[in-house]
Every structure is written in structure tokens, then in C-alpha cells.
A and B are shown apart, each in its own frame.
Chain A
Amino acid sequence: MAIFVPFFYKWFRHIHTGWFVLVLPLLLFIYLLQFLPVGGSMETLELTVPWVPSLGINFTIYLDGLSLLFALLITGIGTLVVLYSIYYIANKKDEPLNNFYVYLLMFMGAMLGVVLSDNLIVIYVFWELTSLASSLLIAYWFHKEKSRYGAQKSMLITVTGGFAMLAGFSLLYVMADQTFSIRAIIDQADIIAQSPLFIPAMLLILLGAFTKSAQFPFHIWLPDAMEAPTPVSAYLHSATMVKAGIYLAARLTPVFAGAPEWFWLLTGFGLMTLIWGSISAVRQTDLKAILAFSTISQLGLIMSLLGIGSAAVHYDYAEVEMLYTTAILAAVFHLINHATFKGSLFMVVGIVDHETGTRDIRRLGGLMTIMPITFTISLIGVASMAGLPPFNGFLSKEMFFTGVVNATTLDIFNVQTFWYLLPVIAWVASVFTFVYCMIMFFRTFTGTYKPEKLEKKAHEAPMGMLISPIILASLVVIFGLFPNLLAYTIIEPTMQSILPNVLEEGERFYVNIYHWHGLNTELFMTAGVILFGMLVFLNLKRWQEAKFFLKERDPLNAVYDRGLDGLVTGSQRVTNLQMTGLLRDYFVFMMVFLVAMLGWTMIRYNAVVFDFVNVSEISPYLWIITFVLIAATISIPFIQHRITAIIAIGVIGFLLALLFVVFRAPDLALTQLLVETVLVVLLLLAFYHLPELRKAKFTAKFSLPNLIVSIGVGLVVTLTAFSAHAMNHEFGFDRISSYFVENSVPLAGGYNMVNVILVDFRGLDTLLEVLVLAIAALGVVTLIKHKMKGGEDV
């Protein structure tokens, strides 16, 4: 579908492209609706298309309660967002709409792939596709610096998590008998829990889930992702993508739940995110930033509920009824609620932005009478977010408190030690949630209208823009008043798929959500939240003077920015240190490496052997030649004049030829003599042509590292030679030369063995060496005759 978007865009210029797009999620939504169970237990759908069968990677669709819930959210809110975006990005001429809808549909497809897939690798593929599409959407206005920054940040963080997750999946694959299928893995949960790789896999997968779902401390990308167009923020960063992590945690709960690490990680990070996000939200002045931090904190809430709910695995159903499963219930319920009210709130903010030209709460105010419908919608959304009675947020908040309070009575995982922490954190975070909801609502819609600060004359939004938030807000109200509509149809099968092993055969979760269940702790907690929230809000002026409130940016951003900078400058520094551009340094690196490797290997295998068994006697003239040779070699570094150095090199060459004579190699001696002559002549020629400036006499500079390195190289090579000789003696390899001695006359018809080897036995080497010579000559000709003038290109 996404492929066709540009064609629609090109061919039907006068019709907004969004209308064509709208059809798809709507149809999908209706299609998915028919899977909703009415009353009974739900049937699951399975479909497999082989992709890489040899690796067990198949494109398997598996639809159960949890997948269905997410798929419905994705398509439903997707439909509304597309509808909303048609009016939001109404200016057809200026905006590249085709890009927008291509990315959006790509995202939607990827997200559906994540939630519907049964195969871990396929999930991973779609997971990264959502990251990619999300980055593209954040950077939709790519000419803006901040958009690009936000897109890069979200990409880096989520992809880091994605890689970790891939590693975790691979570990699961290894543990679970080479299968990527989630259901097969769940069946083997007992085996997996025994494995030593259990904890690493859990940590890696959770890292992926936490980065995607913006959990502390990986939440920092989400506020910066608010540079995206508002429909994108509403869709990706409140309702769907950030819940992919939640989905993953819920999906793998049957595998990992029961381990204390899972409980503490989910609960701990969830609560930390919850309180951090809610406190940070209070500091913001931008409406979207408030909503971003609020999303973060609500995601933390859901995550912590999943953590608490995982404790249910330890109990029988009878025991846990309305105790720990409540937490899972609350998580699922709040997931739905959050998607509805956060989506509508983002859309409301978009409308405010669209109709007034600003999102800054310091410049807004008194819009109640000007934008009555928007006002009503946001009242509903905000009240639900704060957890006020008639709306669905109240119900989920009550259940959240129930879950947290119940968690205090857990008698596993050392909960007793910290039991008071859970409800206290939850309660404080709720107070802050209440406060930022109040700020958001009252600063925008009440007070005095300030037309002089606004870029546009504020007025009510067009009807088309209002449809989606109205639908969402009415859902908020409906779910608030009749929560059991959801309970039987979707929450129960979802819980079944999250906690499959808790139930006995044939049992079901019976979910019943009451508004009123007596005067219990939770109700008092809610009352306390409202009371304290009011107090804090009324005294906000005094609080705001504290430095804490003035800092709008999250302090963790500094960590990220500095980390990124450090990475860049650090790698630059490493590169600069290493890539000096001096050949001398590279040579030192190479030689040090050679010495280290050779030396280490020889020491490791205890290969340094001295063995003088097979050494022949040394004749006196050999002593003399060797002595002169050594003297000439040692003298070279101390020679101050280049010509002398060249002549010293010549001396070495001729002495070598002499050595060849001594060792009875006439061909080598002849060749060495001639080549050495040519070499000295060429060196002198090169010396003659040195530029005037550098002709000044030079002394070889002394440098200790060079000395050490060269001595090391000499030592190692000498040792190797000695050892090789000794080894040869010890193991007695056969010599190939006897073959040549025997066969050079009968097979090749020649008495000069060296030459016969060169042209006959190993003629190919000779041929190629001659080729080398030819290439060298042609290279010299090319270098000298075909010089390029400066600036000329090849």
C-alpha cells in the first residue's frame, strides 16, 4: 500500500492523499474486529509463510488476545490519526504528503508485524523497521535542526536497544532448542529458566524493551521526538510504538516471569520511570513536552504493573484471584486507556498549536470560551489522565493502587524489605501526575486570553480535525462508564495470553471492573492524591522559584550529549593518535606487532631452542667477511654523509656476493654483483637529484624506541632462525634438493642445477619475476615521461 501512495499523490493532486490512505487501516480494523470473542474464550489464528526455513525463520502470524489488543489499537488509532492528519496537514502544496503517508503506512505495517508475529527474528526485523519509520517521521521537517537531532537520538537509542534485543533473542534460540517460535519457547520455559544464559538473555531483551518504551534512563529520546508532526506524536509516541516494549515484556512474561530479577527489573525501572517522568512533566512549559513526559511516566506505570503481575506465576489461581493478576489486568486496562486519552490529548494539543500558533503554556490562556469543543475534549482527557472518578483513568489508577498495595504483601523476592517503597512511590508519582494535568488544563484554557502573544487569531478548529479526538474522548467516557464492555471481549483473552500457565484447564479469568468497591485503601489514596495535588498546584508559584523547576531539559540529556560528543572526539583522538600520517610511525607499529606476535608465539609454545648439532665449521676467511659485513652494517647509522652511506651499502652488497662465492653459489654471486652495481648507481643518481634544500648534511637522529624496536626485530628473527634450524634437525624434514640433484640431467638435460630449477622445474616463478621487472621498468618510464602538471587530473 505504501508503495502506491506516491502514485496517488501524483495523479490525484486535488484530493488529499490521506483519503486514499484512510481506507486501509479502517478495513484492517473492521477485519480484526471479527476476531473479538463475544463471551467465550477466544480462538487463535495461525498462518505461516516460510521465509528462511533452513534457519527456522518463518513468517508466522499468530493472533491471540494480546496480539489482537495491540492490532486493534494500532489500526483503530491509526485510522483516527490518518483522518486527523488529513486536516492537520491541510496545506497540500507545501508539504510532501506522499513522504508522510509512505512513512506512516510503513510504520503501521511494521508495527502490525511486531505484534502479530510469532517468530523472534521476524519480530526483530519489524522492530527495527518501526525504529526506522519513526526516525523518518520525526525528521519529517528535515530542514529543522531540532528535528534531525531528535530523529538521530531516537534512532541511536532505539537501535542500540534493538541490537541488544537481537542478542537476547539469539540466546533464547540457543537455549530453547534452536527455535525462534515464541510459542515453542514458552512451552520450554522450564528448561530455559534452568539455563545459565537465562539472566543475560533477560537483561538484553529488557534493554530492547526499555529503550523502545522510553523507560528510565532511556526515556530521553521521547521528549526530543516531539519535533515530529503532531499526528505522528499522537500515533507513534503515545499509542503504538512506545508500547512495543510493553508488548514484548508482556509477550515474554510466560518465559521470564517467576524469576525475581524479572520482577525487580520491571517493577523497579517502571516505578523509577513513573516518578521521574511525572516530576519532569511538571517542569515543562511546552504542551507537547508535558505530554511526552506524561507518556513516559504512564509507560513506567504499565511496566511496573507487568512486573508486579509477574508474581502471579508463583501462586495458584484461587489464591491470586484479584490479588496479583489484578496488576496484569490493570496493566492491560491502562494500556487501552492510555492509548485513548493520550491520543486525544495529543490531537487537542495539535489543534491548539494549529489554531493559535504556539504550544507554550506561558503564552496560552483563556481559550475555554473560544474553543469550547477542544476544551471539552481536553477536560475529559486530562481528567482521565489524572485519574478522576467518572472516567476510565480513575479505574485503572484504582487498580494500579490495588496492585501496588497487594504487592506489599508478597512473601517472595524479599519484598518485605522494601514493601513501603512501592505504594509510596506510586502515590507521590500520582500526585505529580495530578499536578501536571492541572497545569496543562488550567494554563491553556482558563485565565485571561492573551491575543497579543499569539501569532494567529485563535478560533475553533474545523470539524474534520475534531472528529478523531471526539471519538477518542467518547471512548474514554464509554470505557469509564461501562468498563465491562472491554472486560469480556478483550482483556480476558489478553490476560490469558500473558499468563497462560496460571490457569487450570478450562478455567477463565473473570474480570469485573467496579467503580465502587467499598471504602478501601485505594480510595483513600486517590482522595489523598486529589487533595495534595490541589495543594501543590495552588502553591505552584512558590514551588516554581526553586531552581529545580527552572531547568526544563532533562538532566539525563547532558549525559547523552556528552556521551555522544565523547564518542566522537574520543574516536577522533584515537584515530589521530594512530593515523599520524608518518610512515615512520606505521613502520614502528608493524614491527612492534611482528615482534610481539612472533615473540609471544615462541614463548607460548616454548619454541626457543638452540641446537648446534648440525652446524658446519667456520673457516677463517668466513670470519673475516662476516666481521667486515657487521662493521659495515653498524657503521651505516653513524655515517653523516649520504654518499658514504650509499657506498657502505655497496660494500655490504659486494660482501654478500663474496659470501655467495664462499658458499658456492656462482649464479647468485654473479647476479648479486651486477644487481648491486646497478643499485648503487641508481642510488647515486637519486642522491644527485635531491632538492637543494635537503642536501644539508644530516645525522641519523637517535631515538630510543626505534633502537629498541630494531633490536627487538633483529633478536626475534635471529631466534626464529636458530629455532627453525634446531627444529629442522630434530624432526628431520626431507630436503627437496636431492630430487633436483638427481633429476636435473635426466629430466631437464642441464648440468647447471640452479638454472634448470629457474627455467624448468620452477619456470613459472621466473616468468612472473621477469614480468615484475617489466612492470617496474614501465613504471619508471611512466613516472618520468608522463609527468602531470599541478592541477591536472588523471
Chain B
Amino acid sequence: MKSNLLLLHTITRIVSFIILSFSIFLFFAGHNNPGGGFIGGLMTASALLLLYVSFDIKTIKRVLPFNYAHIIAIGLLLAILTGLNSLLFGDPFLTQYFEYYDLPILGETELTTALPFDLGIYLVVVAVALLIILTIAEDDS
């Protein structure tokens, strides 16, 4: 089925980037405003899904050559490692640290270990959503 979907493709190109940026915004905003790893992850997944829907699966697979199962593993590992990190300092599992730094470009910024933890969640959520939907979509039988 090769039909002309120019309108869809063009809009997708723009919209998916907007959604992606919005999802990243949600992800980073999580600590102080509504948002966070879970919602950000779902948003990213929906942006990617939009790509999958408007183009076909094969194309996107070529563009985004990720194995989502690996991404799940990486995300989980990241979250667990963040938790283990606190053990090194003699604190209970999953103790989070934060500190305010003056970074060159961003100015005064709060860096927290909750961020990599959230990143782990984010990766897992993205990968889970995509993996489920793609697996079902690719199922021929």
C-alpha cells in the first residue's frame, strides 16, 4: 500500500519533534513541576509511535536501530545502580542526594541522583510501551 501521505509525513516531521521536546521538558521538569520519568517516557513513546504510524515500521527501524529489550535492561540497571550508589556512602538503599552547582552554561543548577533514577524509569517506560505495541503490530498470525 503505497499511497501519497505527504501531508501526514510533513506534519509528523514537525509534530514529533515538538512532542519529543515536550516530553524531554516533562522529564526534566519532574522534580519541581508536574511531569517526571513516567509521563515523559510515555510522551516520548507516543512521539516515536507517531513516526511508526505515519512511516512504516521497517523505515523507522532503520532510522532507530534500537533493541528495546536492551533499553529496558539498561533502564533497570541505571535505576538499580543509582540505588546501590547510596550503599557506597553507608546510607540505606535508594537514598537520594542533591546539591546545587554552578555549571558553566546553565548557571546555578540543582543536580540530584534522583535524575539518573528517573532516567532509568524513563528508558524503561519508553521501551516497554514501544516493545509491546511493536510486537503486537509485527505479529502476523
Binding site for B on A (CB under 8 A): 666-667, 670-671, 674-675, 677-678, 681-682, 685, 748-752, 754-756, 758-760, 763-764, 766-767, 770-771, 773-774, 776-778, 780-781, 784-785, 787
Residues of A near B93 (CB, < 8 A) are 764
> Most chain-A CB neighbours within 10 Å: which of B33, B38, B68?
B38
Beta-carbon contact of A755 and B36 below 8 Å: yes
Contact present for B34 and A770 (CB under 8 Å):
no
Instruction: Check if B135 sits within 8 Å of A770, measured CB to CB.
Output: no
Closest Cβ–Cβ distance, residue A755 to chain B (whole Å): 4
Whether A777 contacts B72 by the Cβ 8 Å rule is yes
Say how far A775's CB is from chain B's closest CB, in angstroms: 9
* Contact A763 to B117, CB < 8 A, known contacts A670-B39, A674-B43, A674-B46: yes
Closest to A766 in B: B121
Q: Are B31 and A756 in contact (CB under 8 A)?
A: yes
| Partner of A666 from B34, B80, B141 at Cβ < 8 Å | B34
A770 CB contacts on chain B under 8 angstroms = 75-76, 79, 120-121, 124-125
Task: Determine the distance from Cα of A675 to Cα of B117 in the docked complex, in whole angstroms.
Answer: 21
The answer to whether A750 and B31 touch across the interface, beta carbons within 8 angstroms, is yes
B109-120 interface bits toward A, Cβ cutoff 8 Å, 1 = contact, 0 = none: 010101001101
Measured between C-beta atoms, what is the minimum distance from A752 to chain B in Å?
Answer: 5
Residue B57 at the chain A interface, CB threshold 8 Å: no
Given contacts A759-B118, A773-B128, contact A749 B43 (CB under 8 A): no
Contacts of A774 in B (CB 8 A): 72, 75-76, 124, 128
- Report the nearest B residue to A783, measured CB to CB: B135
Looking at the assembled complex, report how far the CB atom of A101 sits from the nearest CB atom of chain B, in whole angstroms: 64
User: For residue A764, which residues in chain B have a CB less than 8 angstroms away from its CB?
Assistant: 83, 93-94
Nearest CB to that of B111 among chain A residues? A749
The CA of A671 and the CA of B46, in the complex, are separated in Å by 13
A749:B135 contact, CB within 8 angstroms: no
Q: Report A-chain residues with C-beta under 8 Å of the C-beta of B29.
A: 752
Q: Contact: A749 with B39, CB < 8 Å?
A: no
CB distance from A669 to the nearest CB of B (A): 8
Judge whether A763 and B83 touch: CB under 8 Å. Answer: yes
A751 engages B31 (CB within 8 Å):
yes
**Cβ of B42 and Cβ of A671 under 8 Å apart?**
yes
The verdict on B87 contacting chain A, using a C-beta distance below 8 Å, is no
Which residue of chain B has its CB nearest to the CB of A780?
Answer: B132
B31 and A784 contact, CB distance less than 8 A? no
| Contact residues of B: prevailing secondary structure | helix
- The 13 sampled A-B contact pairs (Cβ below 8 Å) are A677-B46, A678-B42, A685-B136, A752-B31, A752-B32, A758-B38, A759-B30, A759-B121, A763-B83, A763-B114, A774-B128, A776-B128, A784-B135
Chain B residues with Cβ under 8 A from A773's Cβ?
124-125, 128
Given known contacts A760-B96, A774-B124, A780-B135, A667 and B79 CB-to-CB distance under 8 angstroms: no
Name, among A666, A670, A777, A784, the residue most crowded by chain B CB atoms within 10 Å (CB to CB): A777
Q: How far is the CA of A62 from the CA of B110 in the complex (A)?
A: 84
In the complex, the chain B residue whose C-beta lies closest to that of A685 is: B136
Are A750 and B136 in touch, CB under 8 angstroms?
A: no
Separation of A794 and B20 alpha carbons in the complex (Å): 42
- Taking A671-B39, A759-B114 as given, write out 14 further A-B residue pairs in contact, using a Cβ cutoff of 8 Å, ordered by the A residue number: A748-B112, A752-B29, A752-B31, A755-B118, A756-B114, A758-B38, A759-B30, A763-B83, A766-B121, A767-B79, A767-B94, A774-B128, A777-B131, A787-B141
Which residues of A are found within 8 Å of B31, using beta-carbon distances? 749-752, 755-756
By a beta-carbon cutoff of 8 Å, the part of chain B in contact with chain A is 26, 29-39, 42-43, 46, 68-69, 72, 75-76, 79-80, 83, 93-94, 96, 98, 100, 110, 112, 114, 117-118, 120-121, 124-125, 127-129, 131-133, 135-136, 139, 141
Q: Which residues of the partner chain A approach B96 to less than 8 Å between Cβ atoms?
A: 748, 759-760, 763
Known: A749-B98, A781-B69, A785-B135. Is A755-B110 also a contact (CB below 8 A)? no
Closest to A678 in B: B129
Q: Say whether chain A's binding surface is mostly helix, strand, loop, or mixed.
A: helix
Query: Do B35 and A674 touch (CB < 8 A)?
Result: no
Given contacts A759-B118, A760-B96, A777-B72, contact A749 B110 (CB under 8 A): yes
Residue of B nearest to A669 (CB): B34
Q: In the complex, A752 Cα to B33 Cα: how many Å?
A: 5
Q: A781-B131, A784-B139 are in contact. Are A759 and B124 (CB under 8 A)?
A: no
**Residue pair A667, B35 in contact (C-beta under 8 Å):** yes
Nearest opposing residue in chain B for A750, CB measure: B31
Known A748-B114, A752-B34, A759-B118: A784·B72 in contact at CB below 8 Å? no
Assess whether B98 is in contact with A748, with CB atoms less than 8 Å apart: yes
Note all chain B residues with C-beta closer than 8 A to A671.
Answer: 38-39, 42
* Closest Cβ–Cβ distance, residue B72 to chain A (whole Å): 5
Q: Quick one: given A674-B39, A759-B96, A766-B121, are A750 and B80 in contact (CB under 8 Å)?
A: no
Q: Which residue of A lies closest to B46 (CB)?
A: A674
**CB-based nearest B residue for A756:** B31
CB closest chain-A residue, reference B68: A777
Q: How far is the CB of A40 from chain B (nearest CB, A)?
A: 80
CA distance A672 to B110 in the complex (A): 29
Cα(A780)–Cα(B133), bound, Å:
9
Residues on the A chain within 8 Å of B118, using CB: 755, 759
Chain B residues within 8 Å of A787, by CB: 141
Among B46, B98, B132, B139, the residue within 8 A (CB) of A777 is B132
Residues of B within 8 A of A674 (CB): 39, 42-43, 46
Distance of A758 Cα from B125 Cα, bound (Å): 15
Residues on the A chain within 8 Å of B72, using CB: 774, 777-778
Least CB distance, B51 to chain A, in whole angstroms: 16
Which 5 pairs across A and B sit closest by C-beta, in order of nearness? A749-B98, A666-B34, A751-B32, A750-B31, A777-B128
Q: Which residues of B contact A666 (CB under 8 A)?
A: 34
| Interchain CA distance A355-B131 in the complex, whole Å | 83
* CB <8 Å contact, A667 and B36: yes
* A750 touching B112, Cβ below 8 Å: yes
Inter-chain CA distance A763–B116, complex, in Å, is 12
- Smallest beta-carbon distance B52→chain A, Å: 13
A750 touches B114 (CB 8 A): yes
Contacts of B38 in A (CB 8 A): 671, 758
Q: A750-B31, A766-B121 are in contact. Are A777 and B127 (CB under 8 A)?
A: yes
Are A675 and B42 CB-contacts (below 8 A) given A751-B32, A752-B35, A763-B96?
A: yes
Closest to B137 in A: A685
Looking at the assembled complex, report how far the CB atom of B54 sits from the nearest CB atom of chain A, in whole angstroms: 16
Contact of A760 among B68, B114, B121 (CB under 8 A): B114
Give Cα A102–Cα B27 distance, bound, in whole angstroms.
77
Q: In the bound complex, what is the Cα–Cα distance between A756 and B125 (angstroms)?
A: 18
Taking the closest CB of chain A, its distance from the CB of B119, in whole angstroms, is: 10
Chain A residue at smallest Cβ distance from B36: A755
> With A764-B94, A774-B76 known to touch, is A750 a contact of B127 (CB < 8 Å)?
no
Query: Within 8 Å CB of A685, what residues of B?
Result: 136
Q: How far is the CA of A674 from the CA of B34 in the complex (A)?
A: 14
Given the interface pairs A667-B35, A674-B42, A763-B117, the reply to whether A780 lies near B94 with Cβ below 8 Å is no
Docked pose: A766 CA to B119 CA in angstroms: 12
